[in-house]
Amino acid sequence: MKLEQIYTGCIAHAAYYLESNGEAAIFDPLREVEPYIDRAKIDNAKIKYVFETHFHADFVSGHLDLAKKAGAIIVYGPTAKPGFQAMVGEDGQLFKVGDCTVKLIHTPGHTLESTTYLIIDEKGIEHGIITGDTLFIGDVGRPDLAQHVIAELTQEKLAGMLYDSLREKIMPLSDELIVYPNHGAGSACGKKMSKETTDTLGHQKKVNYALRPEMTKDEFIKELLSGLTAPPGYFPQNVLLNIKGYESLDEVLERAKKGYSVSEFKEIMKDPSLVILDTRDAEEFSQGFITGSINIGLNGNFAQWVGEMISDIKQKFLLITDPGKEQEALIRLSRVGYDYAIGYLEGGIQAWCAEGNDIDTIERISASVLMSEYHSDPIIFDVRKRSEFDSEHIINAKNIPLNEIYKRLEEFPMDRAFVIHCAGGYRSMIAASILKSKGFENFREVRGGMTEIRKTALPLTEYVCPTTLL
């Protein structure tokens, strides 16, 4: 038996490949399915099943394309009502993959259909559990996502279900089992996830706050719901795509992978409904970009921040990328359901500049420059998450989290100079590009953010561990 985790760090996602005696199964695949098909080919194995732990909110699963291309059967847990052909399994149902066995364990709580899959090897030995968003390393799935799709569900009801699932279905299992979750640190599906992506169930019983044996249901619900921030706006839309179905990624790429000349691009970008999305590195973007474009760099949590900042998944995009990065950008947009890019600037910003077109810039300063100016009481905006800000920040700085910036634009002064920063420069450049697009000119951005600020003598609040603030 082979059981491999296929981890995609930019969206903190884990899919799983199971193979035994020429048969394979994929658990929670991403939208682009060729890597799974190629993996099975290496073992000369046929993909028999696509197991889904639940209807995902943070990404569009590749279950439909994979089932079609591989001739596989899609499997969900009890209560699931997919809008396409799939098997809705029963609690305790067994599935054979080669000589090993997959046992379906219904574990509602994160969502109603949430399911854990117990993997049993060829010798009948229980090896591990693929837990989806039911159990993470150091955390459990948030119970406030399904209610956006099913109105009568409350987060309190789902949290209570999750408490029961953990204690009746998961905790009685062997301490030796390996826990294989769907996400790691950085995902918005939990709040205290570890950077580790696997662990033993026994260790999680000792260290995971949600598995404390003495915890009552009321205590569990209270602790689970405390500190939850609003989920990104695209989450409910992704859930519906995963329930109802979606367009093939091949068709999306065929339509969107269209390069425009500079003259064509200039004409198309006159449409005010389009978003010009520049996916280059923050430093490159700051040195020259097309006026009005928004920077969300591929070298970061690109898809997540597109989802955070652009709530409508049907938004149409024009892309600016480094040459050769066009398809990567399109695939990463489609992972979270943004299928309406209409093309990209052929040759990138270099082609734009080569024809003598105007560009805009953003001034970046070092943390040491900010320190030298601190005596003059500069206006400083910190665009990190509230928990990061509360953990430690420059004294007298004001916190406007990046995902709140559109709602709080009036708090940035038009008539006075100000400075913005984040943790490392990625998010603050997103903020800077948005401010530029809204007509702000009198600001600078701190290169390297808090990482560099901590190296200076700038006065900071006393550090508090972020997890204690949740």
pLDDT in tens, 117-165: 999 999 999 999 999 999 999 999 999 886 555 667 889 999 999 999 9
Find residue 365's DSSP bridge partners.
446
Determine, yes or no, domain membership for 242.
Answer: no
Among 332, 354, 376, identify where a domain stops: 354
DSSP tag of 140:
B
The pTM assigned to this predicted structure is: 0.93
| Same domain assignment for residues 340 and 443 | no
- The verdict on 54 and 198 lying in the same domain is yes
- Bigger pLDDT: 187 vs 469: 187
Q: What is the pLDDT of residues 358-413, one digit of tens each?
A: 999 999 999 999 999 999 999 999 999 998 999 999 999 999 999 999 999 999 99
Residue 171 belongs to a domain = yes
458 and 431 part of one domain = yes
Query: What is the number of structural domains in the chain?
Result: 3
What would the pLDDT profile of 26-63 be if each residue is shown by its tens digit? 999 999 999 999 999 999 999 999 999 999 999 999 99
User: What does the pLDDT read at residue 470?
Assistant: 54
The average pLDDT across 329-346 equals 97
Residues 98 and 176 in one domain: yes
- The average confidence (pLDDT) of the chain is 95
- Which residue, 325, 354, 383, sits at the end of a domain? 354
Q: In sequence order, which residues have a C-beta less than 8 Å from that of residue 188 and are 6 or more positions away?
A: 58, 231, 232, 235, 304
Q: Which helix (H) or strand (E) holds 302?
A: helix 302-309
Q: Give pLDDT tens digits for 409-434.
A: 999 999 999 999 999 999 999 999 99
Q: What is the mean pLDDT of residues 62-85?
A: 97
Residue 359 lies in a domain: no
* Percent of the chain residues past pLDDT 70, beyond the cut: 98
Over pLDDT 90: what percentage of the chain?
91
Q: What is the CATH number of the domain that holds 36?
A: 3.60.15.10
pLDDT band at 192 (very low <50, low <70, confident <90, very high): confident
Angle CA 230–236–240, to nearest 5 = 170
How far is it, in rounded angstroms, from Cα 454 to Cα 398?
17
Per-residue confidence (pLDDT) for residue 148, from 0 to 100: 53
Residues 103 and 221 in one domain: yes
Task: Name which residue leads in pLDDT, 238 or 231.
Answer: 238
Give the position of tokens 């970009």: 289
Boundary of a domain, candidates 306, 332, 354: 354
* Cα–Cα nearest to 381, from 450, 461, 454: 450
Strand partners of residue 414: none
Check whether residue 347 and residue 378 sit in a common domain: no
Q: Which two tokens stand for residue 299?
A: 């070298």
Nearest to 253 by CA among 348, 333, 349: 333
Question: Does 232 lie in the same domain as 165?
Answer: yes
The residue segments making up the domain with residue 266 are 247-354
Asked if 189 and 134 touch (Cβ cutoff 8 Å), the reply is no
